[in-house]
Amino acid sequence: MDAKTFTDRVLKQYQQFDDPRAQAITESLIKHLHGFIADTQLTNQEWEMMWEALMDAAKFSAKTNRNEFLLFADVLGISQLVEVANSHRPNNAVGSALVGPYYRANAPMRKLGDAIMSDDTEGERVNIRGTVRDSKGQGLAGAKLDVWQAATNGLYDIQDPKQPRMNLRGRFIADENGEYHFTALIPTPYPVPTDGPVGVFLAAANRQVYRPAHIHFIVTAPEHETLVTQVFSEGDPLIEQDVVFTADKNMIGDFKRNGDHYELQYDFELLDGESIYPEAPIKD
């Protein structure tokens, strides 16, 4: 029996789904996985190595309460490809990006102009301001912005017991003109976790493990598509080598020095559509 005949035999057993979409996804998955095995002529030893790696990832995820499978998807470009495949944004619009593993639900509501970090948080400050607009350029009154970033040590609050709870996180509501402003830190590059199976994989591939410096945003308004994005720093050499393939030219901000702090002007464009909020990996 050749490979194609065998694949057809398997496909015939998956024709009874009640959900047509589930059937289409399953059929495509089978075809691509079987095609991968046929193309690479995968050996028995290589197959054993692969499922052992999956078992290691499962054990590590259970032990650390960190989704190592999601991190695998990130460093293989799968997570960002899902965003790209589902994004209908024009090339000149702000780019969409993955939420990432450190997004935390229920960040504190803050007033326009507030800082998202505690007063004793180390790092240079940046005043960020801009306008949330619709596709026609009109400001969206009451648009909501959910913001979070890592500290200068490269750690988020949930990774660092020395940081106050919900440090470097905040939610803001734009004014009647769709304008917003707040204070954050100049972002810092940081490595993805390398203490598990993903770290072993990246070392074998001889890949650098850092994310370029960035600040996360989720921007929403009624009857408009939710925008999940990240803002990177112009000139950061890591942008072309982002370990999770998220950084792109339409997500770059110009952080300009102004005396003892920095300034960033950054506008967001929301397209007409349904406002669906992403699921937070960290719920509290």
Give residue 266's pLDDT.
Answer: 97
Letter for the amino acid at 172? F
- The answer to whether residue 91 scores a pLDDT higher than 80 is no
Token duo for residue 198: 């993903």
CA 277 to chain centroid, in Å, comes to 14
Predicted local confidence at residue 88, as pLDDT = 66
Q: What value does the mean pLDDT take over residues 278-283?
A: 77
pLDDT, tens digit, 9 for 90 and up, residues 41-86:
999 999 999 999 999 999 999 998 888 998 999 999 998 998 888 7
Instruction: Output 277 or 210, whichever has higher pLDDT.
Output: 210
Token readout for 263 is: 């300034």
Angle (CA) 125-115-142 rounded to 5° is 125
Whole-angstrom distance, CA of residue 94 vs CA of residue 155 = 26
Whether the per-residue pLDDT at 94 is higher than 70: the answer is no
CB-based contact 126:255 (threshold 8 Å) = yes
Q: Mean pLDDT of all residues in the chain?
A: 93
Strand order through the sheet with 169-173: 169-173, 144-148, 214-220, 227-233, 252-253
Structure-block tokens of residue 141: 């009154």
Tell me the pTM.
0.87
